[in-house]
Structure 1
């Protein structure tokens, strides 16, 4: 029975899992869903992996589940220290770099700062470019010049590489590209040749284009209360330290931002 990946367009965490499934050659069905409608995730988040009647949630847990259940080809380095380093990089991109890209979506797509002409929008975008460049510099230090070990997993294109790809796709789509000649730029050029990355990159660029085209409707839906954007911990941190505390206050006032639903653990259910 094929697995089902529940995914929302442009979710980097879903992109990460798609890449892992493709790299391992695991057949799967793709089901698109709105995160706040997901009853089988305790935080109402994508991705969700359905394996028959069983459900696995959270992209990192899903990644480890797939590695355990389908160990070949392995997407982890063999040495414990290399694995620890790879997990550290994944933690950074899954939290801090993701928060920047998500925050830019708040500014560009949902115009939370009032649109491109406002001082707040301009200052937050400028800060995000500097922040992204700093993370890209750090990511370059985590790569080797050794042609035999070109990935974040060393010689292995790893789960961490899948995580970094998922965020760099978003960064590049938002106009933040790795510095020319940097190790990260060389890595980005290399990984784009992989069939899995080519496929996902094509799909996500189409999603980005559709997102831009539907930006007006998205803003109206948000203002009408049709959905709420999730301000999970690292995203909230980014918004406040980058100058957007007024955005948080306005979102709370309007009721169009959300945290973990209060009733989420009252309903029970099998995980």
Structure 2
């Protein structure tokens, strides 16, 4: 039987969520980064994921699964031990809500910072405005996570998922770590700061975050690829909203004019991009 294969990019927080889940369960798998991901040349990858984005999981029997939350659910149901979500329906719903906020709102902030600092979509005053809005928004998400941790601590639970390190923690940790890499840190001595330190003691989390940070080496060159029209970043849903509401409408219009941004694949045979 073939080995489990996760198509990913180390910087993708969605892929990081799935890698931590597999590693916590001790499942053997291989990681593959699709050729030319982000450049518009991923037609072959459409056979695995018609959305043309990572992560995508190919199971041992050849079934392809896309979307990090669906992949997480598959992993949890296929290998139920150790569990990565509570048994109580209310606690499980709460963990899923945290995951949804991370995936559909917080992620966009770090993605936007990458657009500014790596891809140089904005410079000067515009970059300052977008970065300041990102800082303010990040502080809001830190407060949200701090509050969630405080509620669990009252019940004697150490994790966002509740009694175990699980889906909510795996959705949040890549984002908090990315914020820290951009210079935004939880307050020293806070519950969130302690949670980060506690999570990073787990081999699954430490390896996954370290892989993400290591993959940033060489990112200084990607801005030139954008200027040459060789790189198309995906601006769908929450990411597009973040850029517009944070003051970067001109980033969007310029990207459309130069053909260096894309929106969600419409399931045609020329899809492109990464999540």
Corresponding residue for residue 21 of structure 1:
22
More displaced, 193-202 or 92-101?
Answer: 193-202
Measure the CA separation in 1 of the matches of 2:101 and 2:265: 26
Measure the CA separation in 2 of the matches of 1:79 and 1:61: 20
How far the C-alpha of 1:42 sits from its partner, in A, is: 2.4
Corresponding residue for residue 182 of structure 2:
174
Cα deviation code 1:79-107 (max 9, x no counterpart): 10000110010001111110000000000
Corresponding residue for residue 109 of structure 2:
100
Are the aligned partners of 2:107 and 2:175 in contact in 1 as well (CA < 8 Å)? Answer: yes
How far the C-alpha of 1:191 sits from its partner, in A, is: 0.7
Question: Higher relative contact order at CA 8 Å, sep ≥6: structure 1 or structure 2?
Answer: 2
* 2:231 paired with 1:222: no
More displaced, 143-152 or 176-185?
Answer: 143-152
Give the unaligned 5+ runs of structure 2. none
How far the C-alpha of 1:182 sits from its partner, in A, is: 2.1
Structure 1 residue matching 2:153: 3-state secondary structure: coil
Cα deviation code 1:149-174 (max 9, x no counterpart): 10011111111111111211211111
Structure 2 residue matching 1:142: 3-state secondary structure: helix
Give the unaligned 5+ runs of structure 1. none
Measure the CA separation in 2 of the matches of 1:65 and 1:180: 36
Measure the CA separation in 2 of the matches of 1:113 and 1:50: 37
Cα deviation code 1:181-212 (max 9, x no counterpart): 2221111111111111111122122112x1xx
Corresponding residue for residue 86 of structure 1:
95
Structure 1 residue matching 2:187: 3-state secondary structure: coil
Relative to the length of structure 1, the TM-score reads: 0.91
Aligned residues: 260
Corresponding residue for residue 81 of structure 2:
72
Measure the CA separation in 2 of the matches of 1:22 and 1:148: 25
Are the aligned partners of 2:10 and 2:211 in contact in 1 as well (CA < 8 Å)? Answer: no
Relative to the length of structure 2, the TM-score reads: 0.90
Measure the CA separation in 2 of the matches of 1:262 and 1:190: 41
Measure the CA separation in 2 of the matches of 1:121 and 1:90: 28
Measure the CA separation in 1 of the matches of 2:247 and 2:210: 33
* 2:166 paired with 1:162: no
